[in-house]
Amino acid sequence: MYDTNNGMNSNVPIRYTAQLDGVYFFRSTKERKVSRREGEPAMVIVMLGGIYSALWKTQRITAKGGDVVCWHQGDLRIEENDPAQPTRCLVLNIRWKDHPESLPRVVRDAAGLMRMLALRIFAMTKDPLPSPVESWNVYLHALLAEYVRMSLHRAKSLLDRVNQCLEEHLAEPFTLIDMARWIGLERHYFGQRFKRETGMSPMRYVRAQRVQHALGYLATSPSWTLRKIAPRIGVPDEIQLRRLIRQYTGLGIRDLKGRIPPEEILPFAQSLTRWT
């Protein structure tokens, strides 16, 4: 069951009536190309590596290895490849009459199950002893069921998705545009939705998290200096890190080290995002 807004709704059943029309491996060229895709069948793109990018309505859809993209029949989008990170993927063309409009266009294949199923389907179509089409569709329905399951997980918390991005990219300097691309949302919509759900802008939250991590380092060992910590949390230098810490705590490094015992710094750090 799938709800268009909040995940589950017992009154909206999903019917797995999809049929496989074909599957193939795709690798983008080393030259930058922009393609307009219109009036095409529904398809599932299982990313094996590289970057896939498409403009759909007002959203920039971006996927990398471990992501799965699902386009509805007739979806109009503008695709653009990145020569530095060529797309490598399996493409499944499908017919899905009861395709739920509310399904997101990209989800994370956290368990790798959709990749495994797509590879199995691809192998079956190449087998010299062909399997019945019904067998292919059993695997396809399992893949789509996992896609729906991960869609529900994806919809649970935007904050969870942002935190996952921070786990992967905290040591890198990045912008709001980068975050929106990693999460698969248009920049302005992402910023407005995040602020509505958390009460702060995405980049303010990122800065608070960086300060929290910095205080965590300071609490674990006296050998950690701001010069060592800054590159680990995506801050250009110790001067900017010092300013960030004062901005978010109201205290300087001497105050933190001299007045707050190490055992109290971590709880203090963990409360940062609540009171900022």
In three-state form (DSSP H/G/I as H, E/B as E, the rest C), the secondary structure along the chain is: CCECCCECCCCCCCCCCCEEEEEEEEECCCCCCEEEECCCCEEEEEEEECEEEEEECCEEEEEECCEEEEECCCCCEEEEECCCCCCEEEEEEEECCCCCCCCCCEEECCCCHHHHHHHHHHHHHHCCCCCCHHHHHHHHHHHHHHHHHHHHHHHHCHHHHHHHHHHHHCCCCCCHHHHHHHHCCCHHHHHHHHHHHHCCCHHHHHHHHHHHHHHHHHHHCCCCCHHHHHHHCCCCCHHHHHHHHHHHHCCCHHHHHHHCCHHHHHHHHHCHHHHC
**Position 272: which residue type?**
L
Q: Are 205 and 163 in contact (CB under 8 A)?
A: no
Q: Give the pLDDT confidence score for residue 154 in this predicted structure.
A: 59
pLDDT value of position 273: 47
Residue 90 CA to residue 120 CA, distance in Å, equals: 11
One digit per residue, the tens of pLDDT, for the chain of length 276 reads 333 333 334 344 567 788 999 999 999 988 888 889 988 889 999 999 999 999 888 778 889 899 999 999 888 999 988 888 899 999 999 998 777 777 889 998 878 999 999 999 998 888 877 777 788 889 999 999 999 888 876 555 788 788 888 888 889 899 999 998 888 788 898 999 899 888 889 999 999 889 888 887 877 777 888 899 999 999 999 899 999 888 887 877 777 665 555 545 545 455 454 433
Ranges of each domain in the chain: 19-156, 157-276
Sign, CA dihedral 16-17-20-21, equals negative
Residue 239: how many CA atoms within 13 Å on its side-chain side? Answer: 0
Q: What is the pLDDT of residue 69?
A: 95
What are residue 244's DSSP bridge partners?
A: none
Residues in the chain, how many? 276
Q: Which CATH architecture has domain 19-156?
A: Sandwich (2.60)
Nearest CA to 195 out of 210, 179, 182 is that of 179
Query: What fold, for 157-276?
Result: Arc Repressor Mutant, subunit A (1.10.10)
- Neighbour-count burial of 132, counting CB atoms closer than 10 A to its CB (0-12 exposed, 13-18 middle, 19+ buried): exposed
Look at strands 34-37 and 77-81 and give their pairing.
antiparallel
Residue 258 pLDDT: 56
Would you say 95 and 137 are in contact if contact means Cβ atoms under 8 Å apart?
A: no
Work out the widest C-alpha separation in the chain, in whole angstroms: 74
Evaluate if pTM is beyond 0.75. Answer: no
